[in-house]
Amino acid sequence: MRLEGSERSPLPEPHGVGPLDGAERVEVTILLRRQFASLRYPDVVRLARRSPSQRGYLSREAFAQYHGADPADVERATVFARDQGLEVGVSAIGARTLRVAGPARLLGPLFGAPLERWSYPGGSCRGRTGYLSLPKELERIAVGVFGLDNRPQARTHFRRHKTFAATDVAYTPPAVAAAYDYPAGTDGSGETIGLLELGGGFSPSDLTSYFGQLGLPTPSVTAVSVDGAGNAPTGNLDGPDGEVELDIEVAGAVAPGAHLVVYFAPNTDRGFLDGLNEAVHDTTNRPSVISVSWGSPESSWTAQARAALNAACEDAATMGVSVLVAAGDNGASDGVSTGVPTVDFPASSPFATACGGTRLLLTGGKIASEVVWNELAIGEGVTGGGVSEAFPLPSFQSPANVPKAPNGFVGRGVPDVAGDADPASGYSVRVDGTDTVIGGTSAVAPLWAALLARINQSLGAPAGYVNPLLYSPAGAATFHDVTSGNNDGYSAAPGWDPCTGWGTPDGTRLLEVLRSASTAP
């Protein structure tokens, strides 16, 4: 049976194609159906309109019991894999996944995928084209297969400042948080922030030095390995280390009392899914907020990958976990070669809060001006934003007057919120032993994650899925509206727009709205 949504296209040119060694080890994640398919999945949009203290979230354990995989399906898939001579790894009931491994000569034909060795400028990968097929034994229980193709899937969304002008400024993360009026008397204590990373690493000495300069305690940071990846600094300021240390330093400086857990996974669609699921369903560290600063254009993902990651974000919402995702640094086109407006994924998931970017100027610690981040003229990026062609307009966005996508689709608008992201008004950070300045929407996701951790601390309950409340009249009134600038495709305007969403936060007012949200059914 053909696995719908699994179709893969070739890599963009230029790339070379050659034979793959049949003995090459291939690791695959099989995504299984939900058990109790007739059991109604929680209406998280309706739930999220209530006060966080009144929502009645499912625990991770209860979610696994009622909405995870059927243990009988896991057993059937396990027996089948072993009968084929494959190694069986970790299974996760809540995430509905089973990991298996074996040589390419077995796994490729098993799923109808002729595998090849592809080379491209800067590296090589294992590739496939077309659809996958499911063996008869898995036809009714498997809904996705990931890992046969291990091309790089996502890119970082940070920009290091390199072109300096007299008007440029740099801020510490606490200075930006203070300008956005983050709630006084909070530091994220008792909360855990998960950070998803698909490469690179951090140096403890960098963190000690950086937080010492700020006069803050070095936060508690735990590294979690997913699919064999780990904390592996490259020593390259402009590589993924910049992403990892930016995320840790922004989140840790703004919410110094929070525990930070960094989930390291490979940069593939399988790695992204397994890493996000690890964070969402982690019963050891239990993050209440997850920050994701990686992504790529919607069109670069298979439909099965978009569906699986969107489902993981919905799982998070059901369990009271907020997912903040960077909206991208390549403007309305998201860097696609055609230049046609598109959006970045997973920022376009309706169950994620998408974070766009601004250029922020402060006077006396207060906002003096704020416009859409757009530094295309000097090659230092521009905020992403636009309209999804994969996800329909969610009901909570109906008040926002989201325009149609270029193909006429009535889709989800991106972003929801914004924050300082321009490298020319960027964040003072430390990466690979060097003090530097970094911007990008990558900084906005952990900035917002830290805000929600502090709000959670004050509420004594997780804010969870905040999107529906952000689009309520009271929620929309908590923002600094950004009405000037463009992202090379869309222009800012009063209210919501596809550059900065509703705008940048007034954290104290947002806390008040969440505390007094309607408890009507």
Task: Spot the catalytic one: 197, 380, 442, 497.
Answer: 442
Q: Nearest Cα to 461, choosing from 49, 61, 55, 43?
A: 55
Backbone angles phi, psi at 321, to 5 degrees: -105, 125
Count CB neighbours of 121 within 10 A: 6
Q: Positive or negative, the Cα torsion across 169, 170, 172, 176?
A: positive
CB 462 within 8 A of CB 52: yes
Six token digits for residue 253: 């400086």
Enter the DSSP assignment of 52.
G
CB 319 within 8 A of CB 280: yes
Our answer to whether residue 249 is catalytic in this structure is no
Q: How far is CA 406 from CA 18, 145, 297, 350, in A?
A: 37, 31, 15, 19
Our answer to whether residue 43 is catalytic in this structure is no
Our answer to whether residue 442 is catalytic in this structure is yes
**CA separation for the pair 275, 266 (Å, rounded):** 8
Q: Nearest Cα to 418, choosing from 394, 452, 444, 400?
A: 444
**CA separation for the pair 156, 161 (Å, rounded):** 15
Helix 240-254 / helix 204-213 crossing angle, nearest 10 deg: 40
Task: Spot the catalytic one: 197, 243, 314, 420.
Answer: 243
Instruction: Match 């309209």 to its residue by tokens.
Output: 387
Count CB neighbours of 62 within 10 A: 14
CB 19 within 8 A of CB 105: no
Task: Spot the catalytic one: 116, 149, 227, 247.
Answer: 247
**CA separation for the pair 195, 248 (Å, rounded):** 8
Active site residues: 243, 247, 442
